[in-house]
Amino acid sequence: MPRVLMLYTGGTIGMQPSPHGYVPSAGLAERLAAHLALGDPYRLPAFDVVEMQPLIDSAELMPEAWNRLVAVLERHWQHYDAFIILHGTDTMAYSAAALSFMLGALNKPVIFTGSQIPLGEPRSDALNNVVSALQLAAHPATPCEVSLLFHDRLLRGNRARKVRTQGLDAFDSPNFPWLAEIGIGMIFPQPSALLSGEPSFSPLQLDDEAVAGLTLHPGMSLRRAKALLEDATLKGLVISSYGVGNPPNFEGELLNAMQAANERGVALLNITQCAQGEVVQGAYATGAALNPAGVIAGGDITLEAAVAKLTVLLGQGLSGPALRKALSAPMRGEATAR
């Protein structure tokens, strides 16, 4: 039976009530062991729990936490057969995407999970998610990639999104099939097409000023958009545009600002605000104008994966044509190849 390392980073799954609401709480390993002891422990793989210090409320997560996660995985990689990361749901999709890019090819599964209701609370989904993650960690058909398990569905980590604030089925991958579905049995629709291999554990050289997002909307301020594009510290921008990738024209001023930013070396990645579908720069004249301005069409990449990919590539030291090339094609199945 495989040995599994469970890394508890914080988040709802291990929180406990306080006068100010739920807060991260240490000692999850003991509480989890007590709950699992009520069932048949011999049906689950052996596992150890490591708690990050300090624990993180995932809404407070910064990219430096990704370096900490990778460092823990590096220390334990040779001693375990699979890894489960217990993470808060608010930024779980960002972290799963980031680790998929940081680690690269894998020869062991890395599964993110968490819960909408803390362990031990009435109707908590925590135990079901943990047990399912453990069963998947031990299953030979589970893909050796970074994935996200929630509410009986296994999703590719860099395709996942939090789509519901209240439902227990909080995560989905709108533009990609589930990797597995758990019911009476476990169904794996198709084997992972990602290449396996030895992971990279190199830390990122992070610059918190380097990446930003620009959401287009009716009534948006051209002045503010131009100020962001002209910011000397900006190195990468995720543009959330309409439909298949269309921006407002502003009589050419916004396009000129984007082109000037591109010429300064800023990587501009265009994604759609729609939950499903992809960017097609050329379907409409407004979107086609982005191509000569150097804006990269993001296809069907999610916002979470786009931000994470830009952050990771910049943190790995990429710039100029090398950065543009890496952004223009899938690295770890995060977008549909075109």
* Residues labelled as active-site residues: 12
Nearest to 86 by CA among 52, 137, 122: 52
Cβ neighbours, 10 Å, residue 186: 16
Residue the block writes with tokens 């217990």: 86
Radius of gyration from C-alpha coordinates of the chain: 21
Separation of alpha carbons 325 and 302, rounded Å = 18
- Helical spans, DSSP H, in 104-172: 126-138
The answer to whether 9 touches 86, Cβ cutoff 8 Å, is yes
Burial class (CB in 10 A: 0-12, 13-18, 19+), 190: exposed
CB neighbours (10 Å) of residue 20? 6
- For residues 84 and 137, the answer to whether their CB atoms sit within 8 Å is yes
